Amino acid sequence: MATTPTFDPMSYMSKLQTNGKIRVGTQEDNTPFSVKIPTTSKWEGFDVDVARELAKAIFGSAADPDAFIEYVPVVSATRIPSLTDGKADVIIKTFTITEERKQQIDFSDVYFITGQRILVKKDNTTIKEAADLAGKTVCAQKGSTSEQNMTKATDGKAKPLLLDSYPACLLALQQGQVDAVSTDETILFGLVKQDPNTKIVGKPFSDEPYGIGMKKDSGGDRKGFVAFMNTWVGQLISSGTWAKLYEKHITPVSNDKKQTPKG
């Protein structure tokens, strides 16, 4: 019989057990990472299953992990505020680790690595790489690293249109409001699956290491949490669970089996 893990009574993991839940910030429409199915209100995706594995590590694996998860819908711009305002315990949402963000919150070790590319309509023959975005209107998500990467890659010559979600960016592309969408390759895979009349072009022009976001410790209120998370991420990878989740959610849209990040 599965037992509930035991933690230092002063640790944040013990506090979560006492609360009976962990509040996970993730996005409702971020295929293939996190999607809330409208008809069932059930969550699916790579990041969602990562959250479920985390719940098992804290609360035990005897019950449905969703019984211990409160999903908190976020978009890129609300990830950090959701942590600092105490609305979420963790953010598991294609969250690139940057030095700037590390000034505000803590991150786990890297659990996913990707790079930024470009999505265009299938009949587009003029945009083939990042340099071709100069003078073009390009959609990215508010509060993401995508705009900064695009600005750097085009010497500030691209015209960004910032929206709240990538499905909104896809719609803008379909309606001719933008020439391209640019973000992490794995997110673009999900958009191509939604609209086969689009294609991904160019080589990756950034490195996007994802981590799990956490509020910084203040007076011991997050005792042991970062160390626990890092150990758990390593186990997620070394156990083979990470690879199974990748093949379940990412391979169907990317047709590849990527090497896991080092745990």
pLDDT in tens, 67-94: 999 999 999 999 999 999 999 999 999 9
pLDDT digits (tens, 9 = 90+) for 191-207: 998 999 999 999 999 99
The yes-or-no verdict on residue 178 having pLDDT over 80 is yes
- The residues spanned by each domain of the chain are 12-112+209-254, 116-206
Give the pTM: 0.90
CATH code of the domain occupying 12-112+209-254: 3.40.190.10
User: In the predicted model, what is the mean pLDDT of residues 34-48?
Assistant: 97
Q: What is the mean pLDDT of the chain?
A: 94
- Assess whether the region 12-112+209-254 and the region 116-206 belong to the same CATH fold: yes
pLDDT digits (tens, 9 = 90+) for 140-169: 999 889 999 999 999 999 999 999 999 999
Percentage of residues in the chain having pLDDT higher than 90:
89
User: In the predicted model, what is the mean pLDDT of residues 177-189?
Assistant: 95
The yes-or-no verdict on residue 236 having pLDDT over 60 is yes
Burial class of residue 113 (count of CB atoms within 10 Å of its CB; 0-12, 13-18, 19+) = middle
């979600």: which residue's tokens? 165
pLDDT attached to residue 211 = 98
CATH number for 116-206 (one of 3.60.20.10, 3.40.190.10, 3.40.1260.10, 1.20.59.10): it is: 3.40.190.10
Bridge partners of 139, per DSSP, are 161, 181
Pick the closest to residue 115 from 184, 200, 180, 199 (CA basis): 184
pLDDT attached to residue 262 = 56
C-alpha of 117 from chain center: 16
pLDDT attached to residue 202 = 95
User: In the predicted model, what is the mean pLDDT of residues 35-64?
Assistant: 96
Contact 16, 89 (CB under 8 A): yes
Contact 258, 234 (CB under 8 A): no
The yes-or-no verdict on residue 135 having pLDDT over 80 is yes
pLDDT attached to residue 61 = 87
User: In the predicted model, what is the mean pLDDT of residues 243-247?
Assistant: 95
Q: What is the DSSP string of the chain?
A: --------TTSHHHHHHHHT-EEEEE-TEETTTEEE-TTT--EESHHHHHHHHHHHHHH-SSS-GGGGEEEEE--GGGHHHHHHTTS-SEE-SS-B--HHHHTTSEE-S--EEE-EEEEEETT--S--SGGGGTTSEEEEETTSSHHHHHHHHTTT-SEEEEES-HHHHHHHHHTTS-SEEEEEHHHHHHHHHH-TTEEEES---S-EEE--EEPPPSTTTTTTHHHHHHHHHHHHHHTSHHHHHHHHHTHHHH---PPPPP-
pLDDT attached to residue 88 = 98
pLDDT attached to residue 1 = 46
